[in-house]
């Protein structure tokens, strides 16, 4: 029934119109502004309510406080993107054997760059489950090189730069002392899984040897980046794409076009109003209410004045500092089914309000499946069609998010 779901959005770059009038203001709505009707029930309702609080926003609408769901408006501040960074500490990166001798030889270092919310063709992969770009280098380590972290860092950085195209630097690599620092220039990029492997020619009788993974978790650290939200560029991409009607001379409502470089704060509320004169078909005299969602993007320098208007109208603003509970929620955004042939699916969750560098804890509550720390749900071998899997995402200070996923053929 998506045709009956209505969302209204607006961008506020100023609270003053060109003619000097206020764009946003708290108001008192006279009871006579209700709806003229001869129905005695509605006439009595009008008499009881009389004058009431509300707020008005030019070209956005006039809203009665009592119709704002819970008398609450939800605030989510915008954030600028931050780049993901991986650091490799090369001092002690090569382990020693029981006799204290460095394990020299051939090594592989492999990692992936994920792009979960940007679908560039170069990140397409035969594994259709996700967009990522694999990177692999191989290098030989002598005992002398293993003992010198600074030289080893230069070797690894040089080899990585050799496999990254000069005209498409999707990751910047540099050596600083004994550290190799990798930075993804696109704030929508994230480091995925990595493997550091050593070649052992003695571990396979029927082949030339195998590469075995080494535990280097204490030597490799990843600071995950932060994707932008409510920046001027983000609003252009998501709400005001630069099509001709939006950027032409004297464009309609051009004062709402996002300002490049600006940061905005999102305010959302749900409005529930009785539709007087309309009725449902489930019972005699059934009342009908219209429920709509409204979103305002307010330029950050206007936030204090805008919030004063809303509070003067008797509406509470629920923001990032709200206590844990119903105001801080996690929503898992995934289809409600998974096919046996598919086998696994990447789960995604959103927290509201947004928390910087949020790391969810995933768990299977019930059902034949497992879930990894990064949210990949995998069906168990004994999973059957029509089984239902319940998955939970947790984040400190937020109410848990759950989803039921049904196994289909």
Q: What is the CATH number of the domain that holds 385?
A: 2.60.40.60
**Final residue of a structural domain among 183, 214, 245:** 214
Classify residue 404: in a domain, yes or no. yes
> Which one has a higher pLDDT value, 27 or 335?
27
SS3 label, residue 170: coil
Please count the residues of the chain: 409
**Does 67 share its domain with 126?**
no
Classify residue 98: in a domain, yes or no. no
Q: At residue 46, does pLDDT exceed 60?
A: no
Closest of 240, 145, 132, 146 to residue 193, by C-alpha:
132
The pLDDT of residue 354 is 66
The pLDDT of residue 403 is 85
**Final residue of a structural domain among 298, 318, 338:** 318
CA atoms within 13 A on the CB side of 291: 6
Categorize the per-residue pLDDT at 173 as very low, low, confident or very high, splitting at 50, 70 and 90.
very high
Classify residue 165: in a domain, yes or no. yes
**Does 295 share its domain with 390?**
no
Averaged pLDDT for residues 70-97: 91
Structure tokens that stand for 140 in this block? 């030989």
**Does 205 share its domain with 146?**
yes
**Does 255 share its domain with 351?**
no
Contacts of 277 by beta carbon, 8 Å cutoff, 6+ apart: 35, 37, 39
The pLDDT of residue 206 is 60
**Does 263 share its domain with 335?**
no
Averaged pLDDT for residues 53-59: 91
| CA 194 to centroid of chain Cα atoms | 23
Q: What is the bridge-based pairing of β-strands 388-394 and 361-366?
A: antiparallel
SS3 label, residue 322: coil
Classify residue 89: in a domain, yes or no. no
Categorize the per-residue pLDDT at 50 as very low, low, confident or very high, splitting at 50, 70 and 90.
low
Give residue 72's domain range. 2-79+231-318
**Does 131 share its domain with 159?**
yes
**Does 202 share its domain with 251?**
no
Do 405 and 336 contact (CB within 8 A), yes or no?
yes
Q: At residue 48, does pLDDT exceed 60?
A: no
SS3 label, residue 230: coil
Classify residue 100: in a domain, yes or no. no
Averaged pLDDT for residues 133-145: 93
Partners of 200 in the β-ladder: 210
Structure tokens that stand for 116 in this block? 């979960």
Compute the distance between CA of residue 6 and CA of residue 271 in angstroms, rounded to an integer.
Answer: 11
The pLDDT of residue 178 is 92
**Final residue of a structural domain among 261, 286, 318:** 318
Compute the distance between CA of residue 246 and CA of residue 243 in angstroms, rounded to an integer.
Answer: 5
Classify residue 112: in a domain, yes or no. yes
**Does 111 share its domain with 187?**
yes
Classify residue 255: in a domain, yes or no. yes
Question: What mean pLDDT is reported for the chain?
Answer: 84
pTM for the full model?
0.67
Task: Look at the chain and report how many structural domains it folds into.
Answer: 3
Closest of 317, 316, 315, 276 to residue 64, by C-alpha:
315
Classify residue 124: in a domain, yes or no. yes
**Does 190 share its domain with 248?**
no
């Amino acid at each position: 029934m998506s045709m009956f779901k209505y969302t209204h959005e607006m961008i506020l770059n100023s609270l003053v119109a060109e003619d000097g009038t206020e764009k946003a203001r708290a108001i008192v709505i006279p009871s006579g502004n209700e709806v003229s009707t001869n129905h005695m029930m509605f006439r009595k309702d009008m008499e009881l309510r009389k004058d009431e609080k509300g707020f008005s926003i030019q070209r956005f609408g006039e809203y009665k406080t009592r119709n704002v769901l819970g008398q609450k408006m939800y605030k989510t501040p915008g954030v600028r993107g931050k780049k993901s960074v991986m650091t490799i500490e090369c001092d002690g990166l090569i382990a020693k054997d029981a006799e204290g001798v460095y394990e020299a030889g051939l090594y592989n270092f492999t990692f992936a760059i994920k792009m979960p919310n940007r679908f560039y063709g170069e990140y397409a992969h035969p594994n259709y489950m996700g967009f990522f770009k694999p990177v692999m280098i191989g290098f030989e380590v002598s005992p002398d090189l293993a003992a010198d972290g600074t030289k080893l860092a230069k070797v690894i950085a040089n080899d990585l730069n050799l496999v990254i195209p000069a005209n498409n630097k999707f990751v910047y690599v540099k050596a600083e002392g004994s550290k190799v620092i990798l930075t993804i220039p696109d704030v929508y990029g994230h480091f995925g899984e990595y493997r550091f492997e050593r070649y052992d020619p003695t571990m396979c009788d029927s082949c030339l040897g195998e590469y075995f993974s080494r535990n280097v978790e204490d030597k490799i650290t990843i600071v995950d980046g932060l994707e932008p939200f409510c920046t001027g560029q983000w609003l252009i991409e998501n709400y005001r794409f630069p099509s001709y009607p939006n950027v032409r001379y004297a464009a309609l409502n051009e004062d709402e076009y996002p300002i490049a470089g600006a940061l905005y704060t999102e305010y959302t509320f749900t409005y529930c109003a009785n539709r007087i004169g309309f009725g449902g078909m489930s019972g005699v005299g059934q009342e009908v209410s219209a429920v709509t969602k409204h979103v305002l993007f307010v330029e950050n320098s206007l936030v204090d004045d805008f919030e004063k208007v809303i509070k003067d109208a008797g509406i509470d603003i629920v923001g990032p500092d709200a206590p844990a509970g119903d105001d801080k929620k996690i929503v898992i955004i995934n289809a409600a089914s998974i096919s046996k042939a598919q086998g696994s699916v990447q789960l995604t969750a959103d927290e509201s309000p947004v928390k910087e560098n949020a790391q969810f804890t995933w768990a299977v509550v019930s059902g034949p499946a497992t879930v990894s720390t990064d949210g990949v749900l995998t069906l168990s071998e004994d999973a059957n069609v029509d089984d239902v899997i319940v998955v939970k995402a947790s984040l400190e200070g937020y109410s848990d998010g759950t989803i039921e996923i049904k196994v289909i053929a």
